[in-house]
Amino acid sequence: MNQTFLGVGYTRDHAGLPLEAVPVTVPGPEPDQVLIRVAASSLNPLEYKLAELNFLGRTPPVALGFDLAGVVAGVGGDVTGLAAGDAVVAMADLDGDGGWAATGGGSFALARRFLTVRKPPSLGFRDGAALPMCFLSAFAGLYGRVRPGDVVYVPGGGGGVGHLAVQMAARTLDAAIVVSSGGGPESIELARRSGAHHVFDYKHDDIAAEIGRLTGGRGVDLVFDATYDEGSFAATAATVRRGGDWVVLGVGPGRTTRVAETRSPVDGILAERGARHVNVNLLRYFSEPELLDDEARGFLGRGMELAMEWADRGLVVPHVGQTIESGVDAVNAGLRTLKAGGGVHGKIAVIVDRDLTRGDARNG
């Protein structure tokens, strides 16, 4: 196959937004890869951050759009269990190219076999594409860590990662109490609908005092903080019980901007409690490829399988707050909204191929 299409991405180092149209040659799959004709994708903050900082050292042009749902167009020689025509959900390698299209002609993207799973018929392409990166982030933070009966605090339960983390903790991992927060009525409502038992307004409430009251002064067993907010980090670390876990997504305290390092009080706060600082970061698997060993592949692959199983059973339901057609202007507008914060709750979905998504029951 030697077709080309126009993707959406960055053509210069540190260019930031706006993204541009990027010519892409439809690639051939390596032995462990699946070539996907993309039906839908979604937006993640990672994509504007990569355009701004190019911190994985890629040589532009780079095409973005890592969350993928679509139809298998070809498989590499070592791939088993999938064949052309299968409907799948996948995450592209975060140091590779993605699948947004700049024009109506559709797009193709590659994903590794272990990050590609069959899409159940009950899940539309659009909603399937809202899951991979945010679901895997929540999964990496919570799975195997939350024990039945735990009290869990997920600040920002109206966010892309946050609402799925709340659902996972409350509905699949049997946390006894899930506490969450939001910065306005819509995110508070989404956190509540996702299964949080207590949701506070992080701009106005004294959440540490509320958690103290709810837990008889003990604190929560586990915090999963995916807010990338330094102020939030110190505040949420102070809610962990003695010997509990403070799990943070991404680069962690003091380094959230990636360009400057600040002093963070978090480790001091956790040390006073004998609590653990656990860092989970999907990007590290791709920035440090030696981490992507069989165990990591097995774990992430299990996450993708469970995303489909739990979505099929209605336990984890991605909330799509906005749906856009794939195109340079629409993607730029969506990423600007994500960057500004507070504008869209849950996920922004991207329809890449209207023909393929026509069968989605719930496309808005």
Chain contacts with ligand NAP (rule: CB under 6 A): 44-46, 49, 133-134, 137, 155-156, 158-162, 181-184, 187, 202, 226-229, 231-232, 249-250, 281-283, 338, 341-342
Pairing of strands 87-91, 67-75: antiparallel
**Min CB(159)–ligand NAP separation in Å:** 3
**Min CB(343)–ligand NAP separation in Å:** 8
**Min CB(93)–ligand NAP separation in Å:** 13
CA gap 245, 223 in Å, rounded: 6
Q: What is the DSSP letter of 112?
A: E
**Exposed, middle or buried by CB within 10 Å (0-12, 13-18, 19+), for 246?**
buried
Q: Which residues of the chain form beta strands (DSSP E)?
A: 4-10, 20-25, 33-42, 62-63, 67-75, 87-91, 108-112, 116-118, 151-154, 177-182, 198-201, 220-225, 240-249, 276-280, 320-325, 347-351
- Chain centroid to CA 180: 18
**Min CB(104)–ligand NAP separation in Å:** 27
Nearer to ligand NAP, 181 or 194 (CB): 181
CA gap 165, 150 in Å, rounded: 14
Nearer to ligand NAP, 73 or 240 (CB): 240
Nearer to ligand NAP, 21 or 54 (CB): 54
Take residue 226 and report the two structure tokens written for it: 């995916």
Nearer to ligand NAP, 128 or 162 (CB): 162
**Min CB(333)–ligand NAP separation in Å:** 15
**Min CB(215)–ligand NAP separation in Å:** 19
Nearer to ligand NAP, 51 or 87 (CB): 51
CA gap 56, 33 in Å, rounded: 21
Nearer to ligand NAP, 29 or 346 (CB): 346
**Min CB(21)–ligand NAP separation in Å:** 24
**Min CB(122)–ligand NAP separation in Å:** 24
Nearer to ligand NAP, 75 or 222 (CB): 222
Nearer to ligand NAP, 104 or 184 (CB): 184
Beta bridge partners of 172: none
Q: What are phi and psi of 283, to 5 degrees?
A: -60, -30
Beta bridge partners of 248: 225, 279
Query: Kind and range of the H or E element at 182?
Result: strand 177-182
Q: How many CA atoms lie within 13 A of 333 on its CB side?
A: 11
In this chain, which residue has its C-beta nearest to ligand NAP? Answer: 159
